[in-house]
Amino acid sequence: MPAPLNRALEAVLDGADADALRRATTRLIDVYRSGAPPAEQVLRDRVAATAYAAYRMPATHAAIARVLRYALEVDPALAPRSLVDVGGGTGAAAWAAVEEFDVLESVEIVDGSADALAVGAAVGRHGPPALAGARWTRRDLGDGAALPPADLATVAYLLGELEPALQERVVDAAAAAADVVAVVEPGTPRGFAAVLAARDRLLAAGWHVLAPCPHEQACPLAAAGDWCHLAVRLDRTALHRRLKGAALGHEDEKVSYVVARRSPVPPSVRPSGRVLRHPRTRKGMVALELCRADGSASEEVVSKRQGPRYRAARHAGWGDQWPEGGTDPAD
């Protein structure tokens, strides 16, 4: 976890009732593991919202930051000045966006849980100025009202909590409000299904995919019964380990996402490939499972004889862009 969010969480959590937080964390883990849309508000009181911030926000923040970085890699000119964080809860996506886009000056977090917003505002006060001055707005997304207009809308770890019809309405509302929409969900078959439905909906509305897909055709992984995701590794703080009763000093947050925008993505900008799995390294070769610009997915084996391409392949990571044959990545 980057130091600023870490420090902000520590400042807000200092003196919190550790036993109550541990119990609330266990309950949240059970709710999220069940995979089903929750029947009632999950962050229903201050302790649940605080537990979410302590045990879950570092991971959702790390995953969203990685997603935004991938979008920036595709289009380094991406420079949103305003953000609406839809179902933003304690503000993980707002933190990630403010850190990734230093021109961001106006931030609004919209969520149905007053407790999540209150905890998020307390944590955010320790953040960069755009976050410290953010608007935290309580609203049920089922109310049908339009979202506030913004350059960027983040819809992170939200769709899985909503019924399918509301998922569609929220994606439509985000697309009506913003020029760029980032949808992020857990990297599970269910999370991916929500992301894929959002991708389909945005493409059908004439939007364009910035990341991760190197094409705008049907997803080849979905066609094969697979799901597109990647893993983001983050360090756990001591508090995080205590709350989760976890021994490991790190965790791998699996994430599925799509970042789409209203304006076209020129072919010169779009990556020609995307790494779909951890690259496999064998003696003198690296095997990369790739999503390709022609809408297919298949393996490329890069051998040591390919010099710079081999060295680049050794550094390629799951989720990274990868130029298809012919173009050598920068050595």
Ligand X SMILES: C[S@@+](CC[C@H](N)C(=O)[O-])C[C@H]1O[C@@H](n2cnc3c(N)ncnc32)[C@H](O)[C@@H]1O
Give the footprint of ligand X on this chain (CB under 6 A).
Answer: 41, 43, 57, 60, 87-89, 92-93, 111-113, 116, 140-142, 156-158, 161-162
Nearest approach, Cβ of residue 128 and ligand X (Å):
18
Asked if 121 contacts 107 with a C-beta cutoff of 8 angstroms, the reply is no
Of the pair 234, 297, the CB lying nearest ligand X is at 234
Which amino acid type is present at position 33?
R
Q: What is the DSSP letter of 321?
A: B
Nearer to ligand X, 38 or 128 (CB): 38
Cβ-based neighbours of 303, under 8 Å, separated by 6 or more = 284, 285, 310
Residue 174 CB, nearest approach to ligand X (Å): 12
Nearest in space to 185 (alpha carbons), one of 86, 80, 48, 76: 86
Whichever of 86 and 293 has its CB closer to ligand X, that residue is: 86
Across 16-105, the runs of DSSP E, i.e. the strands, are: 82-86
| Measured torsion, CA atoms of residues 319, 324, 330, 331, in degrees rounded to the nearest 10 | 90
Tell the smallest beta-carbon distance from residue 58 to ligand X (Å).
Answer: 10
If we measure between CA atoms, which residue out of 94, 91, 90 comes closest to residue 80? 94
Nearest-approach distance from CB 218 to ligand X, in angstroms: 28
Q: Count of CB atoms within 10 A of residue 35's CB?
A: 12
Q: Which is nearer to ligand X, 139 or 311 (CB)?
A: 139
What's the closest the beta carbon of residue 294 comes to ligand X, in angstroms?
33
Closest to ligand X by CB, 255 or 290: 255
